[in-house]
Every structure is written in C-alpha cells, then in structure tokens.
Amino acid sequence: MHRMKLVKMISLDMESRKNMFQDYLVKIERMQSKVIVVSFVIALFLGLILLSVRLELISIETSHLAMLSNIMLSIFAVIVATAFLKITTPLLNRFFFFLDSSSRSIVVHAWNYGVWFVALLAILARFTGHMQSLGISIGVFSAGLAIALQQPITSVVGWLIIMAKKPYREGDRIVVREIKGDVVEITLFYTVLREFGRDMDGDDPTGVKITIPNNIILMEPILNYTSEFPFIWDYTAVSVTYESDIQLARKLVKEASMEVLGDSMKRAVERMRPHLYGTPQEADLSEDPVVFTKFSDSSVVLDVRYICKAVRRRRVKSDINEKIIEAFGKHDNVTIAYPHQQLVFHDESIEGMMRKYLQKKS
C-alpha cells in the first residue's frame, strides 16, 4: 500500500512536469520562429546594402565592407543554427521518450547550448581569421572546464548508468552510504530520496528529503530492497529457557507467524519465483514461515524467517512478536529467557557442608 501511494504521488508529479515541459517546448519553438524572422529581415537589409555597393549605388570603405560581410555571414550562421534546432529539438524529444520530463528537459537544454556554442565558434573564427590559435585556446579552456566540472560530469555518467542498467528506479527503496530512502526523483545530476529509519529502530519515514549525486553509484554499493519485487526475507528471534518445552515453543512461534502473515507468503513466492528461478535463493522460497533453533549461553534461540513486503517489515515483525508473547503466556512450560542470576548450592560447598554438620548434630 505504501509503495502504491508513493508510485501514485510520483506519477502525478511526473504528469505535472510533463505538461510543463511540453509548454516549454512550445515556447522554444515560438522563440526560434521569431529569431529566424528577425535574422532574415536583418540579413535582407544587409544584403541590399551589399548589393548597392556592388552596383556602385553607394560607396563604402573596404574595411567596412569586410566587416559588413562578416556580420552578414554571422547572421546567416544564426539562421542556420536556429533552423537546425527547430527541426532537431522535437526529434530529440521523441528519441529520448524513455526519460522522464525533467531529464529530457536537461537533454534539450544541453543540445541547444551545444549547437549555439558551435555556432559561436564559427562566428569567432570568421571574425578572428585565426582558426588554429582559436582551436588551441578552446582546447585549453575545455581541459580546464573538464577539471572544474569533474563532479557534474561524473554525475551525468552516473545518470547514464542509472538509465541503462537500472540499479534503481523511482519508487524503489534503497540504502547507500547508510542513507535509507524511497526514490522519488532521478535527474541528470542527482537523485532525490524520502528518508526512512535514520534515528529510529525500524523503517518508519522521517519526512526528510535527501539529495545525493548520481556519481555515488560509481563509488558506493547500492542496496535495493525492491529492485525485482517488493518483498524481502526478514526474521524475528525469541529466546526461551532450557527448562522450557522447546518443541512446543517452536510450534507456537510458527503458528503465531502464520496467523499474522496469512497467505501473503504464498502470493509473494508466486511473484518471486520467476525472478529467482535457477538461483541459490530459489531453494529458500517457502510458502510458510521457517523456524530455526540455536543454542546460546543461557537460552535456546528460536529464529523464525518469513517473507514480507519491504515497506511493512517493522509492522509485521511487531505483530509477530505480540502474537508470540500472547501464545507463550498461555503455557506454563514455555518461558521467555532473560538475563538473570541464580545461585545453586552444592553439597561440596561451604554452605552444603554446614548443612550436613547441623543435620548430624540434630
């Protein structure tokens, strides 16, 4: 239920962003049309001036004529770049249909900036006339920029890995660097989590939003609770005294677990089996809780393992513990162990010897 609500909220948020992105694309298209029209009018005006010079209707200095030609070519470059973007931007949006609206918006921005950067280089090369020195300057600038933007660049690489390999998706419950949260948004540079269980003994939500850079997947392991299915194996343990009826205790623990879980484990196993077919974990699939026994210094520990939804693990464990306490309370021969000390006097002890002596005297 928690995951369904989270996915529903994410879907509504994504729909809102999608509408905003579509409006943004419409605004870009209108802006591009205006730039083309204005640039064409300016180019037509400059063309008339150049034609008048060619026909010797007006006279102009040679240096000014060269400058006028460069301006004319620069405007032509602006027209070509704008027309190119007007054609390619919608195609780019359709090509990256598998991305969310936020990520597609970033891709479109990057594409537009890249095209205008190339157009600016062409214009600068035309005005400077020294392409080689311009290329060296651009190379040095690009190297310095790459060093300065190392973190953002590696975050983009991390985003590409997330999109391709899907180590986690929106709605998944993950743990990374002791940070636990539900993924609510994945952008080009960062991932947003809704935190759970930070300072609490359990998986309760804290209401805190955490932003982590995407490049963290290149350096840290990612624990995904819900990658293939929303279920996990969990367990709870109870200690009983050595004087207790161990077989009865095992029976009560299993019955208490089954009462809480019902047939949920059967449904979970049906969904998990296709994903775990042929793996070692397939042998651990069980439609009923499994009770394990182990010895400790002062008690017998009964571990009951079961399958439940990752987002409900604390609630399920609490309910099972309550049922176990209730079941044990109905039997005098099953006692929960707890730390305590008990003194036992043997006949060889001083107290035992005194007791024997007093018995003989009497």
- Cα dihedral: 275, 276, 278, 279 (round 10): 140
Average pLDDT over residues 34-58: 75
**pLDDT confidence of residue 6:** 47
Using CB atoms within 10 Å of the CB of residue 153, give its burial: 0 to 12 exposed, 13 to 18 middle, 19+ buried: middle
pTM: 0.58
What whole-number distance in Å separates Cα of residue 325 and Cα of residue 259? 13
Side chain identity, residue 51? L
The whole-number pLDDT of residue 29 equals 78
Mean pLDDT of 306-330: 92
Q: What is the CATH number of domain 231-328?
A: 3.30.70.100
pLDDT on residue 288? 92
Per residue in 162-187, pLDDT tens? Answer: 888 889 988 889 999 888 899 988 88
Q: Give me the sheet containing 290-295, strands edge to edge.
A: 231-240, 300-309, 290-295
pLDDT at site 303: 94
* Dist CA 94 CA 183 (whole Å): 25
Spell out a b/e string for 276-294, using b for 16 or more CB atoms within 10 Å of the CB, else e.
beeeeeeeebeeebebeee
What pLDDT, on a 0 to 100 scale, did the predictor assign at position 21? 65
Q: What is the CATH number of domain 161-224?
A: 2.30.30.60
Domain boundaries, the chain: 18-148, 161-224, 231-328
227 SS3 class: coil
Strand partners, 209: 194
